[in-house]
Amino acid sequence: MQQNQQKAKSGNAATAGFAGTDAQQVKQQIQKDVQAGQGAMTSREAGAMRD
């Protein structure tokens, strides 16, 4: 069962443009939401901000 999950994770879901999302746009939206006080930034989100 774990092998199946690992195969799914290693698919092309990590490629840029998956599901039509723009990483830079998502980062900007997260920053706007945090500045507006809509939820706190998680450590995962903060880690994703580093480039």
- With cut-offs at 50, 70 and 90, classify the pLDDT of residue 6: very low
Question: Are 27 and 49 within 8 A, CB to CB?
Answer: yes
The structural domains of the chain, with segments of one domain joined by +, span: 23-51
* Rounded-to-5 percentages of helix, strand, coil across the chain: 65, 0, 35
Cα distance between residue 40 and residue 48, in whole Å = 14
Predicted local distance difference test score (pLDDT) of residue 16? 55
- With cut-offs at 50, 70 and 90, classify the pLDDT of residue 5: very low
